[in-house]
Each structure stands twice: as C-alpha cells, then as structure tokens.
Chains A and B, each alone.
Chain A
C-alpha cells in the first residue's frame, strides 16, 4: 500500500484539511467534508493500518544532497508519491509532506505507527493566508529597518506539525530559606532600617499538567518555548487525516531526553510557589530539595507555522503558533533608529533627573 493520501468522495481529486474551516475541502468541486463524512466514504482517516505501510528507501552514494519538499535536515530518505509516482526526498523524521511535483498530500504511515504513533493532535486553526498578515503586523516594531519588507524577505513558509512531549505529574519540594521583613523609620537625621530575620521552612507539592517540550532536534527549542501556550481544549485523539496538506515530523528526541527541559521548568515553578507562600520582604533560599513524580508522557503533534527569511544576507527565523496565532522571532534592528530613540530617552531622562535630583 502506498503512503496515505485522501480523495474527494464527490470528484475523486486530492483533498486537503482546511485549517480555517476545520473540514476537508475539495479545491476542484468545492465540496466540504467532515471527518465523519470521510470515514463514511471508506477512507482511513482515523488510524494507520500498521500492516500495510510503505517504508522508505535509503539514499545511496549521496544520490541526493537536499530534500525536495523543503524539510530541514541532512539525514535524507526516499519515498514514492502515491499519486504521480515521483520520488519524494525528505528528512528521515518527516511524517507528512506534500509532493512537490503533483501537490498531493502524503502522510508517511511508517512514521506514525508503533512507538511513533502520536496520542493527540491539535489541528491547525490558522491557514496560510493569515500567516503573512500576522507577519506584517508582527514586523511593525519601532526598530525594524524600513527596507525590511515582509512580502520580499520570506524565503520559505511551512505549516508543520511539530512533535511535542507533554509531561504531567507532581513535584514535591522542600525549601529552607532565610526570610527578612524590613521596617524603615526616620529618626531625626537618620533613616533606621529594622530587619527581622526568620528561618523559613516550606514543604509542599504542586501538580502539573501537560508541560510541553518539543521532541525535534531540528527545531529551535527557544522558538518552540516562545510560541506557547497551546490551548489544550482543542486537543483531540490523533487521526492521520489532520496532517494532510501540512508537513509533519515525528520525534527524534525521546521522552526521557526531553524531560530534562520540562524538569527544570517544573522545579523552578514549584520553588516560586513555595517562596510565594512565605510572606517576607526578602527571601534567600539556602537549600531546595525536589522530587518529581511523572506520569507516562503523552506524545502530541502541535501546529506551527515556520518562516525562513533572509535580509541583508542574514537569515532570520520566525514561528507562529498554528492554533492561537502567537508570533515570535528576532527581527533585525536598525542601529540608526536605536541610536536616535536612545538619545531621545536620554534627553527625557536628563530632564527628569534635573527636576528631581539637579
């Protein structure tokens, strides 16, 4: 059996998941279909038949050095498009792509079965047409160079389902700290600060649910952290049909390895909660013991738009949460504007300084 793709039940053309409509949309006859409609038409939208998936072919003798579908990565493999028979050269971790020759949506079944079978997915809610507008709005920052035109700098824009591990559990923490309460009074020409010092002990536990960490080595970790949070109310049990028309990756960093990033976040937040329970003006932690009891992590594919841009020979990467529309990235900075604005700030600061201290 070939890789998974979907056909319009009315006209038989290739059919894709439409993010804004939340349905399958046939671009040829205009008909729309729900997931139930597609299932009723006998198409395997709900599950991958693990007995009949097509496996990749290895690339030999450096036959190809770059992917044909625009995926990032150097560990390439070969698939065959189920529609036109062309070769699809893609990264080994790709789970869904689009054939560059015929536009057919291809879902790689072998990347979605057994250990790689996702538990959940949040379907795309934002379609491509809204991404460019969001990028234009995002780039309107005071220090953005005038010549930075969003229409011209975008080299590649991809809707990608990124693999995420979701960690739940509880963190038990015990904090030993010094708490200080300060009281300031005025005695003649003296300011008197009275510091009451306490030994503070707090022990407690905090429950966490679905702390996300991306399981892709190719994706910028900070960028994925920055597009959080995802709204889990839209998270549904995984169905391969949601991937049609988008790129998707399977994880290449396992749950144990990725947990280190979640652990730091969970421990820091538990400490914050313990500190907040101690009402002191200053608190200095002497020791902090912690222990996380985690449940079996969930594996989910979460929607992300990735934008690769080039400006003045420099590469800039932007990402957008495909569900909430949150846009992140580091824009280029116009040094002239920065200098001018800083001088204005300095003049305002000097004026205030003259009034209050001069």
Chain B
C-alpha cells in the first residue's frame, strides 16, 4: 500500500517536472528548453521502445492478412463543403 503511494507520488513529481520545467524555463527565457524537452522525450521513447521489444503479446484488432482481393467500391462521393483558413504567427 505504502509502496504504491510512494510510486504514485514519484510519478506525479516526474510528470510535474517534465511538464513545468520547460514551461518555466521558456517563460524565463532560459536556453535549456531544448535540453529538458529533448531529454524527456528521448528517455520516454527509448524506454517504451525497449519495453515493447519484451512484450509481444497483443490482442488482434484487424484482419488485413485475410483480405482476399481488393476493396470493391459500390458508391463513391466527394462533395466540397468549404475552405477554412488559419493564420499562425511564426515566432
């Protein structure tokens, strides 16, 4: 029980620092934003990639290996509705 609480607090602290350190650094105009963001993403990507190599049991949700032939289209309709434009200022 106590171990689980400590684990949860640990994850909350990590999540808090991962999210807020870059924001605070950015607001302060500090140059380390790239390091913090890159570090967090790098650690997460490598960790997830290695874990997925050890876990190969997954529930199938698709049947693409069992498709015979091609999709036989009966009806196809593409109707233009509108155009929307968004402008974003580049910093």
Q: Which residues of A contact B (CB under 8 A)?
A: 141-144, 174, 178-179, 186-187, 189-211, 220-223, 225-226, 228-229, 262, 264-266, 268-269, 272-274, 276-278, 327-333, 338, 341-358
Contacts and interface: CB of A to CB of B under 8 A. Distances in A.
A352 B63 contact: no
A196 B40 CA distance: 36
A356 B57 contact: no
Contacts of A265: 60-63
B68 interface: yes
Interface in B47-72: 47, 50-51, 53-69, 71-72
18 contacts: A142-B50, A187-B87, A190-B88, A191-B87, A192-B88, A195-B83, A197-B80, A204-B74, A206-B72, A207-B68, A229-B66, A265-B61, A268-B62, A272-B62, A341-B47, A349-B40, A349-B45, A350-B39
A131 to B, nearest CB: 16
A327 B57 CA distance: 10
A98 B41 CA distance: 53
A262 B56 CA distance: 20
B58 A222 contact: yes
A206 B65 CA distance: 12
A160 B41 CA distance: 43
Contacts of B63: 208, 211, 262, 265-266, 268-269
Contact of B46 (A203, A222, A344): A344
A209 B86 contact: no
Q: Which 4 residue pairs are nearest across A and B when measured between Cβ atoms?
A: A349-B42, A353-B38, A345-B46, A357-B34
B40 to A, nearest CB: 7
A9 B50 CA distance: 53
A211 B63 CA distance: 7
Interface of B: 31-47, 50-51, 53-69, 71-90
Given A197-B84, A206-B67, A356-B34, A345 B42 contact: yes
Contacts of B46: 341-342, 344-346, 348-349
Contacts of B51: 143, 333, 338
A95 B77 CA distance: 53
B68 A209 contact: yes
B50 A143 contact: yes
Contacts of A350: 34-36, 38-39, 42
A240 to B, nearest CB: 27
Given A278-B78, A349-B38, 5 more contacts: A191-B88, A192-B88, A197-B84, A207-B67, A347-B39
Nearest to A276: B71
A196 B83 CA distance: 4
Given A222-B59, A268-B63, A346-B40, A193 B68 contact: no
Contact of B89 (A190, A223, A278, A346): A190
B12 to A, nearest CB: 18
B59 A342 contact: no
Contacts of B75: 174, 201-204
Contacts of B35: 350, 353-354, 358
Contacts of B77: 199-202
Contacts of B43: 342-343, 345-346, 349
Contacts of B84: 194-195, 197
B36 A205 contact: no
